[in-house]
Each structure stands twice: as C-alpha cells, then as structure tokens.
C-alpha cells in the first residue's frame, strides 16, 4: 500500500531505533491515553521483555520523531518530538493533494451491486441505507486505485411485477400523472392491487377454515382491511377503479397468468410490464442522482431468462441435483465442510437447506436466476471480485448462491463473491411494508431534510435552495453511514434531522469555516502558498497543547482511511471526522489565526487550518458528501 502516512513512518522509525521487529511495533503501538504521552507500546502485545524495554526506552530517542520514552508497568509511553512530527505531518499534507488516500499496489477489478430494489414502488429509507453504503464502497475502492463498476439488478421477473401489471390492466391505462414521480404512483397501484389480492385470497381461505385457523385469518383480514381503508384515502381514484373490477376476477389466476407469459416473453405482456418498470426506474435514477448514489449499469433480470442464460444454469444444476421433497434440488451436504465454509465466508453453524431448481410449472426461481446474474457480472467486467450489498436477511440465500457456484465448478467466482451484509432500518414500532404502501420514502426524507435546513439557513440570513438541498442530502447520508452496518438502525425523524454536533451540517459548517479563514486571509493580503508557508513556519508551534492535539489527529487520517478501506466500514471514518471537527472548533475558539502577529506562527496556524480543510474535504467526498466552501 503506497501512501504518505506519518504514523507508518513513526512505526518504522521506532522499530529501527529501538531495535525491535517492525511487526511487534505494528501490533503494539497505540494512541496513548490522555496524560500518558503521545503513543504507547504495550509490551506484552509486542512480546518485549522488561530488560529489552529498558534498553529500548533509551535507544528509542535515536528516532528523530521521538523526544523521550518512559517505562510504566507494561507500557512504554512515548513522547514525540513535536517539532519533527508536526513538520513531517504538515509536509505530507502539503506534498500530496490526496493526503489520506493510499494506492493499492495490486488494484483489482471490482463490481459493486447495490440497491437493486423491487422496481414497483419508490425507494424507501431501508434502500437508502443500501444506497449510501453501496456508493461509499464504490467510492473508497475507486479512490484507492481499483477499477470499479456499479450495477443495479432490476428484479422484473416474479410475482410482484405481475401484481402491479395487473393493477394497471384493471385501471385500464398505463398513463402516469404529471404531478407525481412515476415510482410513487406505481407504488400506490402496487399497494392497492396487492392488498386487494390478499384480501380476496384470505376471504377464500376463511370460508373453509375452522377454529384457531379461522381466528388467525380473521385477524389478518382485519389488518388488511385497515390497510385498504388507509389506501382508499391516500389514493381514492386508484382504489375505487381497481376495487370495482376486483369482484369479477380471480387475482391469483390473473397474476399467475401474467407471470408465466412474461417469462415466456409474450409480446403484449412484455410491453406492459416493461413500460411500467421503465417508468419506475426513471424515478429511481432521479432519487439516486439526488442522493449521490448513481449506478452505472442496469441489468434486467428478464434478459437473463429470455437469453437462455438461466436455462443453461438449470441444465448444469440438473446434473448435480437430487430429489428433495418431491422437487429437483441441489443438496450441498456432499461438498460441505468447515474448510469450504471458511473459504466461501459462510458461518460455520448456518444450516443450509437444499436449493430447489425450478417450480413444477416450469418457471424459474430467484436464487437460480441469481447464479446466472453472478456469472454475468464476473464475465462482463472481467471482475476479480463481485460485492453484493444486500440486507442481512438474505444471508442464507447468498450462502446458497456461493455454494451452488462452487458446486458447478465456478470456484473462483464462489470465492470472490462477497455478500456485504447490513442490518435493516426499522421504524419505531411500525413495520414497514411496501406491499401495503406503508413506507417512509427516501424522497420524502430528503424533502423534509431540505426544508429543515432551509429553516436554519433563514435564521442566518440565507435562503439558498442549492445549499439547503446539498446539506439536507448530506445530513441523511451521514446519518445512515455513521452507524456500523451490522447494527440495526432505528429510523426517527428527530435523529435524521438533528443538525447539531454529530452531523453532516456540523462538519460542513466546520469546513466552510476553514474556507472562510482562507477568504479572509486573502482579503488582508496574505499569500496562501502552502509550500512557502511550510518553509517560513515556526516549527515549534506545536508546543501549544491544542495545536498539538490537532496535529496528531491529522496524522492519524491515513490510518483511519486505511481501516475504513479494509473493513469497508464508513462509520470509522465518520466518527473520526467528527472528532477532528470537535478538536478544530475547540482550537479555533481559543486562538485567532489571521490576526496572529508573528508571521512564522501565523504560517503554521494557516497550515493547520489547511490540513483540517484537506482532511475534512477528502473524508466527506469518500462518504459521498460534497463539501461546500460557503454556506
């Protein structure tokens, strides 16, 4: 990994000065606790004996970045040479415009598939977490020098598109109103049709049910009727039109007919389904562009079926299939082993049931189609790696996918397919359901965020729509990225729209403040040539405590980026940026920069502001947030 990294330099310097193996230093060097120096070597971790440590405490000062070291129990507390270290750090920042970003020595070709939401309703807040994570992954991988391609899998084969197609058939037209985004309108048609279909089906079952079963169905029906009542209020026209026709048709029969004829490629159905889905995709693209999560390649699941690629996979699967519960299925028991699981990244106790190959009516199944899709992703981009950003609820299906690939002999693909799993976004108490139209859409969250930012802007005498839009989007993105992916996110308006300390607006404001200092400096005739400032600055400036703390945090940036890159976890970076902003604001409040009388100190202060400016800017961009020079 190639990059300018002050901490890396420090580790090398310490290792050679103290005569310690570099691995030992890497494993045991930590940021010191408050009051115990700057860095600490934890001796047992490094495998260093007491005698060695005593010797090291003396020789370590040969490293010019270190001023002294003190042995304290199992710790060797290291006090840095502030002049040297501060200069090195600022030199790195000035010398490399992308300070903090490293270059992968062996860049890879990587496909990142994300969002891939069902194309029959607007993107909701859960999909937003996916979009934020997926676009973050693509950005950080790309910035480190990898070739990245982003893809969206349009799930147009299957029951749900048939449901919405039937809805439009019943409506009698496929025209969409101009006053609503297409995906929002389609979402309503879908929710109405789906709810009415389920009501019909439950009523049928209720007619013959008895006892407990009957009671359970009745409860389910009550819930459905409540949803229907709500939908009839939200979308009265759609609701009336569809429910009037509902009496005369059998939903299940109609839906199944559409499904079959779509898979078969029957032209009229293809035209109907495609025209609806295309409109919905238009809505997705608009939202994703707004959210800073655009996707390059859009793949139709149906194309895989019609081109025969899925059939080919099924032929291959048949050769390794056995009969399971009366259906042709692939049983993974034969190849399953702890070693294989480790190679494919499958949890060791996960029970993996056999994978059914196709329905008895001959239509295909999702996971099987996904095998064909995975092969396509590897093939078309000549990818070394494919990352699927998919919610944790699909862990099992994704494990089956990798095992199936392996069983078919696609070893390389199976080993290099990564299920990037994240937990869902839940609403306080309410269960989100797109089938019932019970969702918080990303569009409305962004609208509300923008509105709230505008209120704050107006308090400060601005009413820039553009700034409000960008800040609103930033706030939502940041909120979704600042929680570790493996942890569930509880959605709440008050948290998303909290613009105080732990937020994107706070970071953006801090960044704008650094820009403000530069503007002011130019106004009073200070030349902002960073390399020149580096020459004239007083290297002892970091004797001052707050300046020093800031230097150390800036020095930590490449390490933080690297950790975020390796784990693909944006929260590491988000938390770091907040800490840096806090530290900067504390210092800013304490010391003036422009009016500093001593030129050499002023130069150092300006460089410190510049360093913070670069770090926040780079960090935000990786998180998919555009820094604003002026708010």
User: Which CB sits closer to RNA, 235 or 355?
Assistant: 355
Q: Is 37 in the site for RNA (CB under 7 A)?
A: yes
Count other C-beta atoms under 10 Å from residue 277's C-beta.
22
Q: Is 159 in the site for RNA (CB under 7 A)?
A: yes
Closest CA to 132 of 557, 448, 445, 580: 445
Q: Is 484 in the site for RNA (CB under 7 A)?
A: yes
Q: Is 522 in the site for RNA (CB under 7 A)?
A: no
Distance from C-alpha of 479 to C-alpha of 291, rounded to nearest angstrom: 13
Q: Supply the minimum distance, in Å, between the C-beta of residue 466 and RNA.
A: 12
**Rg, C-alpha atoms of the chain:** 29
Size of the site for RNA (CB under 7 A): 99
Using CB under 7 A, which of the segments 191-199, 493-501, 532-540, 615-623 binds RNA? 493-501
Distance from C-alpha of 212 to C-alpha of 32, rounded to nearest angstrom: 63
User: Which CB sits closer to RNA, 282 or 596?
Assistant: 596
Q: Is 393 in the site for RNA (CB under 7 A)?
A: yes
Answer for the pair 318, 407: CB distance below 8 angstroms, yes or no. Answer: no
DSSP 8-state class, residue 515: H
Q: Supply the minimum distance, in Å, between the C-beta of residue 566 and RNA.
A: 7
Q: Supply the minimum distance, in Å, between the C-beta of residue 237 and RNA.
A: 28
The encoded tokens of residue 8 equal 């890396």
Q: Which of residues 51-110 bind RNA (CB under 7 A)?
A: 72-75, 77
Distance from C-alpha of 424 to C-alpha of 434, rounded to nearest angstrom: 14
Q: Is 371 in the site for RNA (CB under 7 A)?
A: no
Using CB under 7 A, which of the segments 240-248, 265-273, 308-316, 356-364 binds RNA? 356-364
Q: Which of residues 243-302 bind RNA (CB under 7 A)?
A: 301
Distance from C-alpha of 364 to C-alpha of 108, rounded to nearest angstrom: 33
Distance from C-alpha of 200 to C-alpha of 578, rounded to nearest angstrom: 53
What Cα–Cα distance (Å) separates residue 214 from each residue in 23, 124, 201, 220, 335?
67, 34, 13, 10, 44
DSSP 8-state class, residue 441: B
User: Which CB sits closer to RNA, 413 or 569?
Assistant: 569
What Cα–Cα distance (Å) separates residue 443 from each residue in 48, 74, 459?
57, 54, 25
- Spatial CB neighbours of 380, under 8 Å, sequence gap ≥ 6: none
Using CB under 7 A, which of the segments 34-42, 55-63, 136-144, 231-239 binds RNA? 34-42
Distance from C-alpha of 432 to C-alpha of 393, rounded to nearest angstrom: 15
Q: Which of residues 120-139 bind RNA (CB under 7 A)?
A: none
Q: Supply the minimum distance, in Å, between the C-beta of residue 173 and RNA.
A: 26
Q: Is 490 in the site for RNA (CB under 7 A)?
A: yes
Using CB under 7 A, which of the segments 88-96, 141-149, 235-243, 350-358 binds RNA? 350-358
Q: Is 21 in the site for RNA (CB under 7 A)?
A: no
Q: Supply the minimum distance, in Å, between the C-beta of residue 349 and RNA.
A: 4
Q: Which of residues 326-345 bind RNA (CB under 7 A)?
A: 326-327
Q: Supply the minimum distance, in Å, between the C-beta of residue 272 and RNA.
A: 18
Q: Is 571 in the site for RNA (CB under 7 A)?
A: yes
């Amino acid at each position: 990994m190639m990059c300018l990294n002050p901490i890396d330099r420090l580790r090398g310097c310490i290792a050679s000065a103290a005569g310690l193996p570099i691995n030992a230093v890497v494993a045991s060097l930590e940021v010191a606790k408050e009051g115990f120096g700057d860095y600490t070597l934890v001796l047992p971790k490094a495998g260093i004996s007491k005698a060695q440590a005593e010797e090291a405490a003396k020789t370590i000062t040969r490293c010019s970045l270190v001023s002294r070291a003190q042995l304290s129990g199992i710790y060797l507390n290291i006090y840095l040479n502030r002049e040297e270290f501060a200069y090195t750090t600022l030199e790195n920042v000035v010398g490399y415009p992308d300070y903090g970003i490293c270059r992968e020595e062996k860049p890879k070709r990587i496909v990142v598939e994300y969002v891939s939401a069902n194309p029959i309703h607007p993107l909701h807040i859960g999909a937003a977490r996916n979009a934020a994570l997926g676009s973050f992954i693509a950005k950080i991988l790309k910035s480190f020098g990898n070739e990245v391609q982003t893809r969206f899998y349009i799930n147009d084969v299957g029951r749900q598109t048939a449901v919405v197609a039937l809805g439009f058939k019943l409506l009698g037209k496929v025209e969409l109103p101009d006053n609503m985004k297409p995906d929002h309108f389609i979402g309503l048609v879908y929710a109405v049709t789906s709810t009415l279909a389920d009501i019909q089906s439950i009523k049928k079952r209720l007619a013959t049910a008895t006892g407990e079963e009957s009671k359970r169905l009745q409860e389910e029906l009550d819930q459905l009727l409540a949803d229907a009542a709500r939908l009839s209020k939200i979308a009265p026209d759609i609701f009336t039109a569809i429910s009037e026709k509902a009496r005369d048709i059998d939903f299940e029969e109609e839906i199944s007919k559409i499904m079959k004829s779509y898979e078969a490629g029957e032209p009229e159905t293809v035209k109907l389904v495609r025209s609806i889905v295309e409109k919905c995709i238009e809505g997705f693209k608009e939202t994703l562009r707004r959210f800073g999560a655009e996707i390059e390649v859009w793949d139709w699941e149906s194309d895989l079926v019609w081109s025969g690629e899925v059939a080919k996979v099924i032929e291959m699967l048949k050769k390794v299939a056995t009969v399971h519960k009366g259906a042709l299925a692939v049983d993974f028991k034969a190849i399953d082993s702890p070693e294989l699981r480790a190679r494919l990244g499958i949890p060791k106790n996960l029970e993996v049931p056999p994978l059914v190959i196709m329905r008895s009516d001959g239509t295909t199944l999702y996971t099987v189609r996904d095998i064909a899709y995975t092969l396509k992703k590897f093939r078309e981009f000549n990818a070394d790696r494919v990352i699927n950003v998919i919610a944790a609820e699909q862990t099992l299906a994704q494990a089956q996918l990798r095992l199936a690939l392996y069983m078919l002999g696609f070893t390389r693909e199976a080993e290099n397919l990564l299920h990037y799993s994240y937990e869902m976004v839940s609403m306080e108490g309410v269960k989100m359901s797109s089938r019932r139209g019970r969702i918080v859409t990303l569009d409305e969250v962004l609208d509300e965020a923008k509105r709230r930012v505008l209120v704050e802007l107006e308090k400060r005498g601005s009413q820039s729509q553009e700034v409000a839009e960008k800040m609103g989007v930033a706030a939502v993105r940041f909120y979704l990225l600042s929680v570790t992916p493996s942890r569930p996110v509880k959605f709440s308006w008050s948290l998303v729209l909290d613009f105080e300390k732990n937020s994107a607006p706070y970071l953006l404001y801090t960044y704008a403040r650094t820009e403000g200092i530069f503007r002011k400096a130019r106004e009073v005739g200070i030349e902002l040539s960073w390399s020149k400032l580096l020459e004239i600055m007083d290297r002892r400036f970091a004797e001052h405590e707050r300046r020093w703390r800031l230097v150390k945090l800036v020095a930590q940036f490449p390490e933080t980026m690297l950790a975020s890159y390796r784990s693909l976890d944006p929260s590491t970076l988000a938390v770091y940026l907040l800490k840096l902003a806090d530290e900067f604001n504390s210092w800013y409040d304490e010391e003036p920069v422009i009016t500093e009388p001593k030129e050499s100190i002023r130069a150092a202060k300006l460089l410190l502001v510049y360093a913070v400016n670069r770090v926040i800017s780079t960090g935000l961009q990786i998180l998919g947030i555009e820094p604003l020079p002026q708010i």
